[in-house]
Chains A and B, each alone.
Chain A
């Protein structure tokens, strides 16, 4: 007893010598917050589930979209990186023009790196409509589109027939009235076979159907249309309207697209290359971004909702804990705590809940991305920019969730709390 008294006296002097300002050491703050969380471990664990799901979803979605975008780009590149489009921009924007030479297909074919090339445009047939009888008008027609295309275009677009044959250089040179029907157009016209050489009419002009198109991967619009040789289209309907200008589709070898694009206009019109404008497929990175953007915005919204629900969970549990611990908070006030000390402790508890949940969620998200990538034989791509800030985001969510409970706790009147 004498020892403890002596100790007490010595400590007492030191206590009084300290600066006269209430304060709470941060170590004590963290220790008290940890004790508060561990006081009810099961409830704390349940509370963080929402944060685990929210942050986990964020990391998984961002990771999966980056991973998927990586795969998409490698698929896209094969088709898109071997394609050049040369559009007839003409010299004025309003009058119909056709600035490709008649030898356009063979001229471009001669360039090194070109697989096939051809010109197409959508034909403005005026009041003439496609039908099975002559003189079909807008009121009786089916509204089928008519495309003009050189034989080279059919090759460049990868067009294949389900029935019959494609028209060729002979039909083009002699402006033969022949046509190909897209599969959808053929179905609308009730033509299933070309064995008995059916005829379709565009207005009063008859066209012999040579084939029915099965597929046209680089120009899918052909599958919905009636396709006629460019020469007969020019003869019957004149030059294409600026609203649907003629364009050349060039199928190149892999890696040649940029070079062909730079040469095409000069090769076709050495006298006036600015009449034509060549473009390649969109660059890879912009393609990837576009894909990630559409997927991300949708799923990130879901993740944000999950995280918001998680925050509500933390807010609710912390608020219940505050109400339960009213007497403890009153006691802390009675032994010298200021309202801000109480608020700080509650915030520290909710921040810790958010942080723990976010750490678990980040781990779960990373595992999900890797698991999906392995299952699909993909290469997992995890951007550190998404992964490392995730725990901090969870902690921030916890702090935001704790603001209201902390204010409630700080407002507890010690006198009434202690009467319980």
Chain B
């Protein structure tokens, strides 16, 4: 695992504007630091810029300004090829709607991870089997995901996200499509993975989900800042540590 003191994600003054008309500033000023081994929840109401921030952290979108370091490497100047490679190897993403291929087995779904990063199929299949074991679905490796329950599908998706040994597990509303029992199973799994050393960033509007994280951040109107708005000139070190989300209650 990575050095526990090192920063995995560092967002500094990140903004994302969508040129209009009308121009929309989805993220105004995001300052986030995520240490290796942390379990952080980012909360915010609908339209607060959560999805845009997820896309930026997942390297699916580029900020219009600011700085984003992943594992200490500046991602802003990376060419698209390199960003694709980093996506394929260093970031595992779990989505609200799973995004599994319904008519293929759990094992095949997980084994897709690493395919575009040049990992040989044999290796990917072994990793996939190991990851399904890790999320407790070793027995269902050969099942079609179309026949699985929501909770099981999300665990398959988590196994896929972990299969390339990413430095960050990014979960976008991971329980949004699950009932309460399945939600508990998935949250227990995330907690367990974190205890095993996986760095996790969960984006949610659900207080129950956010409460399981070690630290909570809030995003309001595109601003993420532990020191609440206005304090954008604060020292980098003091930006997010220990902040409790004042906006978490607005979820809905």
CA distance A70 to B176 in the complex (A): 73
Cross-interface CB contact of B58 among A39, A334, A341, cutoff 8 Å: A334
B117 pairs with A8, CB closer than 8 A: no
The stretch among A9-17, A80-88, A252-260, A353-361 that forms the contact with chain B is A9-17
Q: Which of A1-57 contact B (CB under 8 A)?
A: 1, 4-5, 7-9, 11-12, 14-16, 18-25, 27-28, 31-32, 35, 39
B130 pairs with A20, CB closer than 8 A: no
Q: Which chain A positions have C-beta within 8 A of B120?
A: 25
B123 within 8 A of A: yes
Chain B nearest CB: distance from A195 CB in Å?
90
A25 pairs with B134, CB closer than 8 A: no
B5 within 8 A of A: no
Q: Which chain B positions have C-beta within 8 A of A12?
A: 165
Q: Which chain B positions have C-beta within 8 A of A15?
A: 89, 114, 117, 119, 164-165
A219 within 8 A of B: no
B119 to chain A: closest residue by CB:
A15
Q: Which of B54-70 contact A (CB under 8 A)?
A: 55, 58, 60-61
A218 within 8 A of B: no
A27 to chain B: closest residue by CB:
B121
Counting chain B CB atoms within 10 Å of each CB, the highest count among A11, A328, A334, A418 belongs to A334
CA distance A8 to B47 in the complex (A): 38
- Contacts A327-B99, A415-B61 given; indicate if A335 touches B116 (C-beta within 8 A): yes
B84 pairs with A35, CB closer than 8 A: no
B162 to chain A: closest residue by CB:
A8
B85 pairs with A334, CB closer than 8 A: no
CA distance A227 to B108 in the complex (A): 89
Cross-interface CB contact of A338 among B93, B116, B160, cutoff 8 Å: B116
Residues of chain B whose beta carbon lies under 8 Å from any beta carbon of chain A: 51, 55, 58, 60-61, 80-82, 84-85, 87-89, 93, 95, 97, 99, 101, 103-104, 108, 112-121, 123, 126-127, 130-131, 133-134, 160, 164-165, 196
User: A20-B82, A336-B87 known; 12 other A-B pairs, CB under 8 Å?
Assistant: A7-B126, A11-B123, A18-B118, A25-B120, A39-B101, A332-B116, A334-B58, A335-B93, A335-B112, A335-B160, A336-B88, A341-B116
